[in-house]
Amino acid sequence: MTEGHHWHPVPGVQLGPVAAGIRKKERLDLLLMVLAPHTRVGAVFTRNRFCAAPVQVCREHLAQGTPRALVINTGCANAGTGEGGLMDARATCHAVATQLGIAFQSVLPFSTGVILERLPMDRLLAGIAPAHAALSGDCWQEAAQAIMTTDLVPKLASRQISLAGRTVTVTGIAKGSGMIHPNMATMLGFVATDAVVDAAVLQKLTAEAADLSFNRITVDGDTSTNDSFLIVATGQAGHPEITSNASPGYAELRDALFEVSIALAQAIVRDGEGATKFITVRVEEGRDESECQKVAYAIARSPLVKTAFFASDPNLGRILAAVGYAGIDDLQVEKLKLYLDHVLVSEHGGRAQSYEEAAGQEVMKQKDITIRVVLGRGQASTTVWTCDLSYDYVRINADYRS
């Protein structure tokens, strides 16, 4: 959901997107984001143990001070680069800090792109002054373009709400297309608001927003080395501070942050490398959310399920097979029901009497499809989003470095 024509600038956030030639000539690939003093930041990062140098430096700097600037490059992930990669990430922060006249620890670096390659530091550092010169509050669309790798479209979402008579804006950008799986994905997401919110409350909201959005998507089951998601709150809106979940305006702000995060996450799946279908996998009546998630992800990351959807082939036994190997040892298959949108496909351990393949075929042709599995075991449920797996996925990932 790219809201290119309906986004709103966020007071207290300046953006400087430039083409630094990091990997390809004349494409936006470096973004400087400058934050007003006293901005609060919530952050969550990848759980991949091979996490990239910028993630390590971000964690160090968040523990030491108040962020004033983010520097984001595409084209090179600065991951799997050892001590040299850490030196490069820190040198980038020093250059930005010098350019802006702020503390080194108040700069957070982010990188995305090819793994196992060092950053082209000469070009990256040469891009910082132009990015500073380009700073503007009105270039969110260009900022979304500047963080793309294999993405086909920029991802941008925006909402406005009213808190205590003040207009509060929530606007975010994200990138991600392949190597997408929870915790999080090859995913960078940056959401900004001018709301006035306590730092601890913001961190909790950031983690919750990630769990409801970026941690519910899978394109290919690969978890990246660089995933980062930030919510920054500049505090410029001027309403009374939100200090707890009982504060006036908390629920409205939470809902707006969640809506923007989910819109960005779903945009990543819709832009999954070579994707032609957007698939919602909903698992209901599980004993707990954990077992619902096991089933949902078994379906959502099965290459056989995903290729069947690409072909619009209702070979739906593949879904039942995925449910069967999801790891619920005491699953009673005769209690399970499988639906494709509104069409009941399977019940009582076999094909539903009412099911006709022509009905399944009609649903499979749609761009948006819901797989619903009813386990008949309890009250828990969960939803994840995925896409099909096409010839183009292989082509894009085979040709990625060339």
Query: How many angstroms separate the CA atoms of 10 and 175, rounded?
Result: 19
285 φψ region: left (φ > 0), alpha (ψ -120 to 50), beta (else) = left
Cβ atoms of 40 and 202 within 8 Å: the answer is yes
338 Cβ contact partners less than 8 Å away, ≥ 6 residues apart: 316, 319, 320, 323, 344, 345, 346, 347, 371, 372, 373, 374
Nearest Cα neighbor of 206 from 273, 145, 158, 254 is: 254
Q: Is 186 tagged catalytic?
A: yes
Q: Exposed, middle or buried by CB within 10 Å (0-12, 13-18, 19+), for 338?
A: buried
Neighbours of 40 (CB within 10 A): 22
| CA dihedral over 387, 281, 157, 29, signed as positive or negative | negative
Task: Give 364's strand partners.
Answer: none
Nearest Cα neighbor of 261 from 180, 184, 207, 191 is: 191
Please give the sequence-ordered ranges of beta strands (E in DSSP) within 236-342, or none if there are none. 278-286, 337-340
Backbone angles phi, psi at 197, to 5 degrees: -140, 140
Q: Annotated catalytic residue: which of 39, 149, 186, 234?
A: 186
Query: How many angstroms separate the CA atoms of 300 and 369, rounded?
Result: 12
Catalytically annotated residues: 186
